[in-house]
Amino acid sequence: MSDWLTPGLAHLWLPYTQMKTAPTPLAVVSSQGVRLKLADGRELVDGISSWWTACHGYSHPHIRAAVEAQLATLPHVMFAGLVHEPAARLAMRLAALLPGDLDRVFFTESGSVAVEVALKMAIQYWRNKGRAGKQRIVYFRHGYHGDTFATMALCDPEEGMHTLFAGSMPDQIMAELPTDENLRRAFDLLLDTHAERIAAVIVEPLVQGAGGMQMHDAETLASIAEACRRHEVLLIADEIMTGFGRTGRMFACEEANVVPDIICLSKALTGGTLPLATTVARRHVFEAFLADDPGAALMHGPTYMANALACAAANASLDLFTSEPRLVQVAAIEAQLATELAPCRELQGVTDVRVKGAIGAVELCGKIDLDGLRRRFAELGVWVRPFGKVVYLMPPFVIDADDLSLLTGAVYRVLTERAASLP
């Protein structure tokens, strides 16, 4: 480790990190199942699935074999004028899995870019239909849709991560989630007032992730979809976090019987193996781009889009949702999280405990030492990375009850220690 960690850190720029004051990151040398092995010999149970990606755990033999076989034949080829079997099969499978007629798949490499493509689709959809004034996007408080410039403009301005760029991003429209009748009327009025300016509404179905693990019910999601339909506004579902079983359904929008016009997927798409994302459009959206005029086409094309290795991993990941009981496992995780995180409600400094599917969140108040909490979790043998005011768990679906109890027990212990130190 001494020959790479310290010299390497002298040249690395880490994410979301003040490099002058940040503690030295933990050095990982291997991963297996739900565990990360560190260079110093310790093992940590991963409570957050590497930013919510490793739904099947690490190094699943079926995914590994699929990637190895693909590597031997076709690792990558440009996706302009050429296509390949892994991408074609993956597109067919996604179209069959997704609700309604979400059946045109555009591949990218990251969630942020998938959202950017969705925005381009939505705005150009209306332009192609002769309504070029519909260019604005409505997003919701506590929302988060990525770190690129267009997606930063769709994040809660009070959330803090992107406030430095205020004034340099496109001007979009923030709304409150319509979680009650008064808010629904206000949301409906907003769409009614600005309908000729609004191209789309974007929402994270059921759970707003990086904005604080805020949760809403299926009725709220259904009301958003209905309002969009009435006012001729497209609905974009950002299921980058919630897609592929995380909330208990294969896709969160299914719980509300909602078929968005466009859906964005990534993270767990390849089981946490390789970067891949998709933006999938319904038939009527795709058909608006069909014309004799070349200018009506969608002009976007990432260099590594539909990477063959990543598509092979994604196909193997989808196999596992059929051959192994993933959604049953998620239901068991949900029940255990609800039971074992409930005692945190009684602790000083805790304002809420929320559980949805394989997501458990404990919201804190008061001064929060994030680095101290993260360090203490690692000392207890778990990898849990709180952010903002939230300590959360999003474990791999394959975690067993004992390891999950290790995670929830660590959360309770660390927050009990924190409560004892509060004034």
Calpha distance 279→9 (Å, rounded): 35
Q: Which amino acid is at 35?
A: R
Q: Do residues 117 and 300 make contact, with C-beta atoms less than 8 angstroms apart?
A: yes
- Distance from C-alpha of 231 to C-alpha of 238, rounded to nearest angstrom: 20
Residue 66 DSSP SS3: helix
CA gap 367, 389 in Å, rounded: 9
Compute the distance between CA of residue 360 and CA of residue 280 in angstroms, rounded to an integer. 28
| CA separation, residue 74 to residues 66, 106, 310, 311, 336 (Å) | 12, 20, 11, 11, 43
Q: Are the beta carbons of 295 and 132 closer than 8 angstroms? A: no
Q: Is 16 a catalytic residue?
A: yes
Evaluate whether 16 touches 357 at the Cβ level (below 8 Å). no
Is 267 annotated in the active site?
A: yes
| φ and ψ at residue 391, rounded to 5 degrees | -100, 125
CA distances from 268 to 48, 56, 130 (A): 12, 9, 37
Structure tokens given for 338? 């609800």
Which entry of 156, 238, 261, 403 is annotated as an active-site residue? 238
Angle of helix 181-194 versus helix 218-230 axis, rounded to 10: 30
Q: Of residues 46, 58, 267, 356, which has the active-site annotation?
A: 267
| Degrees to nearest 5, angle at CA 111 with 157 and 74 | 165
Residue of 3, 16, 20, 367 marked active site: 16
Annotate 2-51 with DSSP letters as a single string: TTTHHHHHTT---TT--TTTPPPPPPEEEEEBTEEEETTS-EEEESSHHH
Taking the mean position of all CA atoms in its chain, how far away is CA 294? 33
Choice among 144, 304, 356, 403 that is catalytic: 144
Catalytic site positions: 16, 144, 238, 267
